[in-house]
Structure 1
Amino acid sequence: MKKVRPDNRKRWQLILLALLFAAPLVTALSLYYGGWRPAPKARGDLIVPAHPVADAELRALDGKAMRFSELKGKWSLVYFGPADCREECQHALHLMRQTHIAQHKNVVRVQRVFVLLDERGLGRLPATLKAYQPVTVLRGDRAVIDRLVAQFAVGGRPRPAGERRFYIVDPLGNLVLHYGPDLPPGSINKDLYRLLRVSRVG
């Protein structure tokens, strides 16, 4: 009976070890380049491809000039609503606040953005916002706001119109997720938590 030489045995052991490590990589590459993708788990309406939001010259609540691009660097939870922020609007701001707080150690990576669709009742807004701080308020000329709103109605999605619709914009300025007014409780929180966990951006 022919004996297996020690150096041959070691060589085969190395080959088998290499195959064990290489097999998962080869399988993953084959699936990826073959067009397979895992089913999305997002609870919101995933926007594919992500939609870059063009810059806009706006103003902060205090009237200081502010561009939409200044939001880059953090994940933005965006809501469009009236300056005369009543019950539905306040409920939306409350939901954004709770979603933000729920991110715990990642809370610094997220910002809340309230874009005003009009300025009627603007004088009362600072008092309303006290319970929902910190929130970045953006306002602007009618034409500028209309152009900004139109960018959030991509892919046939409804235009923001003061309803309870929320949007997530990534730190690079891309619109990535949309949530309609009938979203189940906790939907935004779960999606945002997952995004922050897997992303190193922002």
Structure 2
Amino acid sequence: MIASYFTYYVLKPQSRNNYGTLLDPRQYPIPALGSTALDGQPADLDGLKGKWLMVQVNGSDCQKACQDKLFEMRQLRLMQGKEMDRIERVWLITDQQPLETLVMREYDGTKLLRVKPELLKAWLPTEADTTAADHLYLIDPLGNLMMRFPKDADPNKVKKDLSKLLRASAIG
């Protein structure tokens, strides 16, 4: 009995079983981003509260790495099966340049919002030697940033994290 208390309270296990980095949601509520839809009308992430949001950040010149993340987000959502309606995909576009029509068509269903990049720097934490564009972020249904996936994340491990969260969460 004493050994179990000692083990539990003193030698706390250091292992974790999540792939993404958990962030303290109280530290990262969604700030006022001043975002707009592609047509210039005001639109923000608050309108998507109640859903889990997979978020990627990139400029409108969406090259291969950007398109790969958009593809992964689409596939990760589809892999959740009947739970996929609880997840929305969001691309935060950091400039005012026009988007390629083919990219918009290919990833139809992804919410496209233009934001000011300087506002994202203060909100989205990154790993050393990376930028927000290198990561995939997860926002909980209450509107708090709660997880960051590493650069070039393994989609199978991301899927496991998403599945666990959706199974454990009654909201969203």
- The interval holding the TM-score normalised by the smaller chain is 0.7 to 0.9
Deviation at 1:68, TM superposition (A): 2.5
Q: Which residue does the alignment assign to 1:153? A: 125
SS in 2 for 1:59: coil
SS in 1 for 2:77: helix
Quote the residue 1:103 is aligned against.
80
Letter of the 1:105 counterpart: K
TM-score (norm 1): 0.72
Unmatched 5+ stretches in structure 1: 1-26
Q: 1:178 to 1:123 in 2, by over 3 A?
A: closer
Name the SS of the counterpart of 2:22 in structure 1. strand
- Superposition TM-score, scaled by structure 2 size: 0.83
Secondary structure of 1:97's counterpart equals helix
Please name the residue that 1:55 is paired with.
32
* Residue type at the aligned position of 1:128: V
1:56 Cα offset (Å)? 2.2
Matches of 2:86 and 2:21 in 1, distance apart? Answer: 22
Alignment of 1:111-150 (within 5 A): 111-120=88-97, 122-124=98-100, 126-140=101-115, 142=116, 145-150=117-122
Q: Where do 1:1-202 residues align within 5 Å?
A: 39-48=15-24, 50=26, 51-120=28-97, 122-124=98-100, 126-140=101-115, 142=116, 145-153=117-125, 158-160=130-132, 162-163=133-134, 165-202=135-172
**Counterpart Cα distance in 2 of 1:123 and 1:98:** 21
Q: Any conservation in 2 of the 1:80–1:115 contact (CA below 8 Å)?
A: yes
Could you say if the C-alpha distance between residues 38 and 174 of structure 1 is closer, same or farther in structure 2, counting changes exceeding 3 Å?
farther
Distance in 2 between residues matched to 1:54 and 1:182, nearest whole Å: 26
Residue deviations 1:54-97, cap 9 Å, x none? 23221012222112221211000000011011211111100100
Deviations 1:108-152 (A, max 9, x none): 1000000012233x142x331211121001103x3xx31133201
The percentage of aligned residue pairs carrying the same residue is 30
Higher RCO (CA < 8 A, seq sep 6+): 2
CA RMSD of the aligned region, Å? 2.5
* Higher helix fraction (1 or 2): 1
One-letter code aligned to 1:87:
K
Distance of 1:157 and 1:46 partners within structure 2: 19
When you count strand as a share of all residues, which structure comes out higher?
1
Q: How many angstroms apart in 2 are the aligned matches of 1:139 and 1:76?
A: 16
Residues 77, 112 of structure 1: 8 Å contact kept = yes
| Alignment: residue pair count | 164
Describe the SS at the equivalent of 2:165: helix
Give unmatched runs, 5+ long, in structure 2: none
